[in-house]
Structure 1
Amino acid sequence: MATPTPAKTVHAPATAPTLTFDERLALAALAVDARINTAPLDLADVIRGPINIPAASVLQPYRTPLAALLHRAQTRILNDGWCADRLRDEQGAVCLIGAIRAEAGSRSEADDACTLLLDIVRNEFDPTAETIASWNDRQRDGHMPARILGHAASRADARGI
């Protein structure tokens, strides 16, 4: 007869002493410190002077003609100022139509931009707008006209026009 093998005794692993909150926090801080690169930052690698890049490539984010025109008109209003009740005032500020006409290459291009702009104004901002000029003249300042030009430029670009 075979002799029975003695049963193996399994011992429970020793439990680590319970750490306090402060001890766990100190260990976590050490773990974070171990992962952080503490090499000093060389600012010469970070700070750079102005770069001479052609203005058209920086300021023109759109490739489609109508979107580019609307973006240029927005830039004109932001730079030269906005006005109501006329195309241009004595200080050089322009209304929506004045900005579009100043930036358009032709009258038909300006008309196309104004048609698209009126559609966007009516569909997304003010269904009661009769014309771009009447909507422009109801604005208190240039914030909304500039905003609507940027929005129209984005829409025109998305449509590929």
Structure 2
Amino acid sequence: MSHTPHSPATDHPAPTTQAATPPVELTLEERLAFINAEMTVRLDEAAVAYEVNTAHIPIEPVDLADVITVPIDTGPAPLPDLYPTPAAALLQRAHHRLLTGGWCKDALIDENGFRCMLGSLRAEAGGDRGLEADAAAVLLDAIRREFGNDVDSVPSFNDAWAKGRVPVRMVDQAARLADARGL
């Protein structure tokens, strides 16, 4: 009998493989946690790379007097009147003031400078009490059209809300109503 070398592949039986286990399905929260961890690592690496890449750049202090060339306290530019009629234009400006300057309740103007619905009308009316009254009447009518005749006044409606989204929207609707009426 001659001795012939055998290859290892033929000497031993093939190892048995176990059936592959299906991947475990992760919940949404688990997937989000993994993504959050991965993004945190990437952001940390990017922050380090940024620091390394910009460490050699000399930084000189900036004097704001050299940068700011306009008065600081001018406030936002006035909004052009979209409505040709005085009450509608006033309501539109009051709406813009509420959006840009902030809304409040329980006061015409609060300690932060935020205004209620009537406070914004008064500020934009520029002392014209007749125009202010006309706009307030249209505003109350717009409120009653949507919320019923149980609303007794603009201030009570304004103060009934915890957030200003609905009161501010009603000032905008009143501007459209005033325009439709030619006021």
Which TM bucket (shorter chain)?
0.5 to 0.7
**Equivalent in 90, 102, 114 of residue 81 of structure 1:** 102
Indicate if the aligned counterparts of 2:138 and 2:177 stay in contact, CA closer than 8 A: no
RMSD: 1.4
Quote the offset at 1:60 in angstroms: 2.2
- 1:142 aligned partner: 164
Find out whether 1:69 has 2:90 as its counterpart: yes
C-alpha distance in 1 between matches for 2:115 and 2:182: 27
- 1:26 aligned partner: none
Quote the offset at 1:124 in angstroms: 2.1
- 1:122 aligned partner: 144
- Report matched runs for 1:1-161 at 5 Å: 59-105=80-126, 106-161=128-183
Is the partner of 1:89 in helix, strand or coil?
Answer: coil
Quote the offset at 1:115 in angstroms: 1.0
Is the partner of 1:61 in helix, strand or coil?
Answer: coil
- 2:74 aligned partner: none
- 1:50 aligned partner: none
Is the partner of 2:122 in helix, strand or coil?
Answer: helix
C-alpha distance in 1 between matches for 2:104 and 2:175: 20
Quote the offset at 1:116 in angstroms: 1.1
Quote the offset at 1:120 in angstroms: 1.4
C-alpha distance in 2 between matches for 1:127 and 1:160: 23
C-alpha distance in 2 between matches for 1:132 and 1:84: 11
Structure 1, unpaired ranges of 5+: 1-54
C-alpha distance in 2 between matches for 1:60 and 1:109: 15
Residues paired across the two proteins, number = 106
Quote the offset at 1:76 in angstroms: 0.5
TM-score by length of 1: 0.62
Task: Give the share of equivalent positions with the same residue, in percent.
Answer: 46
C-alpha distance in 2 between matches for 1:116 and 1:101: 14
